[in-house]
Amino acid sequence: MSNQHDLGSVIWKRKILRIYRIFILFYLMGEAASFAAGWEPGLNYVITYLQDSTMIPVSTMLITLLVLELLCRYTNRNLDYIFILAAVILAGSLIITNRHIPVMQSTILVPIVLSVLYFDKVKILVTTAVSLAFMLTFYGLANQKTAAEFGPAPFSAIVICVIILACCAAGLIVINRGMELLEELREKVVCEIKLREEKAWIEEMSRTDALTGLANHKSFHDYLDHIIDSDESTPALHLALADIDNFKAINDTYGHWAGDIVLKQTAARLKETLQSSALLSRYGGEEFGILFQGMSDEEARDKLEAARIAVASIRVAEIQHQTVTISIGLYRKRVTDSKETLFKRADTALYEAKRPGKNRLCVGDGTTA
């Protein structure tokens, strides 16, 4: 963030320098036109014109611009106030050397307008104070003839000071309104982020089983439908259905709260052993759905065997430290199998796993482990 802010400051300083260059260029063009319009033959005219109208302001402007260029190139310090002071110097040079043009006093407003770009109230107030100090000093030091060129004294001094203060007030109003808009924008962004987070949370909750944190029945089927629809010829798709053995007896003996703990611990153990390689879901009640993609029959069987053994190592305090076991039915989808056939074969394999004594894995061909 700091680097981005620094970069933004450098870019703005370059833009302000470009404005100063254009400002000086237009001034030189005006002086050239004035020089040509009042042309008189002879070298004396050129020397007199340069001494009276051009030498001091042009030298001041060029030196100021050169100093700013060097500071921007060779230092990383905060140059905001130096840039503001430079604007006052440029405007002051024009006012002093073109005192016969009353409208030239309006250039003292340029530094105040420029300070608004910094979006900082302090900078506007400092610029206003420097501009007022310059104008009051100028009127205070000017002789009667010079002051009269700007208008009746002290009326003209009062008017320009009032205009400077009005410009300052306008700048402060702009900044206040800008801050209000930024705050409104920030609040809208915060609300939008909250709404998106809530929407994401609701969507996540709609696809997740609240008790186990696994995918729920709907999201499991949505994912399976996506796989089947995207490539019906995929051969390496295995569906396993795992069921907690004697779960009804656990609920009847120890209560449903104990059954919930058994479900949570079983799901956690399945996550530990399978989640990196399979999609897990709480398919319904005490039954879990497991999908493998891109595995051979042996790999899927070995993963499930490891999960079955891991679950069997659980000792649940709430059911008097008894073990928890699962029975698993595994089936690999054939090319011609529909989704209904896939579930039917996996469910048949699960039934075969439970029939000989539970805590077993049965593959769709009827073999058991």
pTM listed for this prediction: 0.51
User: Which tokens in the block code for residue 240?
Assistant: 């396993």
pLDDT in tens, 134-185: 888 877 776 565 555 555 556 777 888 899 999 999 999 999 998 899 999 9
Left, alpha or beta for 147 (phi > 0: left; psi -120 to 50: alpha)?
alpha
How far apart CA 125 and CA 119 sit, in angstroms, is 12
* Given 286, 298, 318, 352, the catalytic residue: 286
Low-confidence ranges of the chain (pLDDT < 70): 1-10, 49-54, 76-78, 99-102, 142-154, 201-206, 231-235, 365-369
Helix%, strand%, coil% for the chain, nearest 5: 70, 10, 20
Domain boundaries, the chain: 2-186, 217-363
Helix runs in 38-154, H state only? 43-49, 55-74, 80-97, 110-116, 121-141, 144-148
pLDDT in tens, 315-351: 999 999 899 999 999 999 888 888 899 999 999 999 9
Residue 38's pLDDT is 73
User: Which tokens in the block code for residue 86?
Assistant: 């430079």
Considering the four listed CATH numbers 3.20.20.10, 3.40.50.300, 3.40.50.261, 3.30.70.270, the one that applies to the domain covering 217-363 is 3.30.70.270
Instruction: Look at residues 275, 278, 273 and name the one whose alpha carbon lies nearest to residue 308.
Output: 273
Please say if 305 is a catalytic residue: no
**DSSP-derived 3-state class of residue 275:** coil
Sign of the alpha-carbon dihedral angle for 52, 53, 56, 59: negative
> Do 84 and 123 form a contact (C-beta atoms < 8 A)?
yes
Helix runs in 149-255, H state only? 155-207, 217-230, 247-254
- Cβ-proximal residues to 92 (8 Å cutoff; 6+ apart), any chain: 108, 134, 138
Instruction: Look at residues 347, 314, 322 and name the one whose alpha carbon lies nearest to residue 242.
Output: 347
